[in-house]
Amino acid sequence: MAATTNKLRALIMGAPGSGKGTVSERIVRAFDILHVSSGDILRKMIREKTDIGVQVKKFVSSGQLVPDELLLKAIDSELKRLSSADRSWLLDGFPRTKAQALSLFNVAPVQVVISLDVPFEVIINRVKGRWIHAPSGRVYNNDFNAPKVPGHDDITGEPLVQREDDKPESVQKRLKIYSEMAGPILNYYAKQNVLVQFSGKTTNEIWPQVYKYLATKIEPKEKL
Ligand code: G5P
Ligand code: MG
C-alpha cells in the first residue's frame, strides 16, 4: 500500500546515454532529492557477486533488459525503503516495462516523469567516451565532463572504469530495445498527465529547462 506523503515522487527516462545520470547528478545538487538508479543497483550486485548479481550479469553486460521477475527481486528492498521514505525521490532507469510501472504504482504513484529526448547519433558518439566511478555511479566523459585527474574520480581519487555494456554492439542493442519498449511506458505516463519531455543535443541545453520545471514542484536548495 502506498504511503501518503507530500514529498515529490519523480522518474527520469530517456534512451541509454541520453544523460539521465548526468542530469540526475545536477538535480541532486540543486534540490533536496534522493536519486536511485536501477542500473547502479544492478552493477553493484554484479561487482559484489551476490546471488542476484550472478543471475543478472549476462543480461546487463550484453545490453538486454533484465526479466521483470528478476529485476523486481533485485530492487525490492530499495522500493520498500522508498515507499516509506520521508524525502523526495527520483528513480532513474525504472520502470522500463508495463509490469514494472504497475509494481511501482503499488509503491507510490509518481507525480513527475522527466523524459530526455536526445538524437541517437549524438548518443552513439558520447558513450564511447564514458567513464564511471563504479561505487558511486558518478559519470564522466572525455569530451564533456572530464575528470580533474584523467582516469580518477574527482571525489575519492579512485580509478574510473568503462561499462561493459558500452561496447558498440551492446549500445546498438540497448538503443533498439529502448525504441521498442519506451513508447508504451511514455504513453502510460502521458495519459496520467505527468510526462514532461525535454529535448536537446546537450545536457547544458536540457538542464536549465529541467531545473525551471522542477522548481515549480519542489523548492530548490541552489540557484541555477
Ligand atoms: P542503466 O544503467 O539504466 P541506460 O542504458 O538506461 O543504463 P545509461 O547508459 O546509464 O542509460 P544515461 O544515464 O542516460 O545512460 O547517460 P549518462 O551516463 O548520464 O551520459 C552518457 C555519457 O554522456 C556520459 O559519459 C556523460 O558524461 C556524457 N554526457 C552527458 N551529457 C553530455 C553532453 O551534453 N555532451 C557530451 N559530449 N557528453 C555528455 O541500465 C543498464 C542496464 O541495466 C539493466 C539493463 O540490462 C540495462 O541495459 N537494467 C534494467 N533491466 C530491466 N529493467 C530495468 N528497469 C532495468 N534497469 C537497468
Ligand atoms: Mg545512467
Identify the residue whose cell numbers are 520498500.
Answer: 80
CA of 216 to the centre of ligand 1 (A): 26
Cβ < 6 Å from ligand 1: which residues?
14, 16-22, 37-39, 42, 59-60, 63-66, 71, 93-96, 100, 126-127, 130, 139-141, 143-145, 165, 174, 202-204
* DSSP-assigned letters across all residues of 67-116: PHHHHHHHHHHHHHHHHT-SSEEEEES---SHHHHHHHHHH---SEEEEE
Of 130, 116, 134, 110, give the one whose Cα is nearest residue 178: 116
Q: What is the pLDDT of residues 70-96, one digit of tens each?
A: 999 999 999 999 998 999 999 999 999
pLDDT over threshold 70, residue 1? no
Q: What are the cell numbers at 159?
A: 580509478
- Predicted TM-score (pTM) of the model is 0.95
Give the distance (Å) from ligand 1 centre to CA of residue 21.
6
What is residue 76's predicted lDDT score, i.e. its pLDDT?
94
The pLDDT tens digits of the residues spanning 162-207 come to: 999 998 888 999 999 999 999 999 999 999 999 999 999 999 999 9
Length of the chain: 224
121-131 average pLDDT score = 92
Q: Quick one: what percent of the chain has pLDDT higher than 90? A: 90
- How large is the ipTM? 0.98
| DSSP codes of every residue in 155-203 | TT-PBPB--GGGSHHHHHHHHHHHHHHHHHHHHHHHHTT-EEEEE-SSH
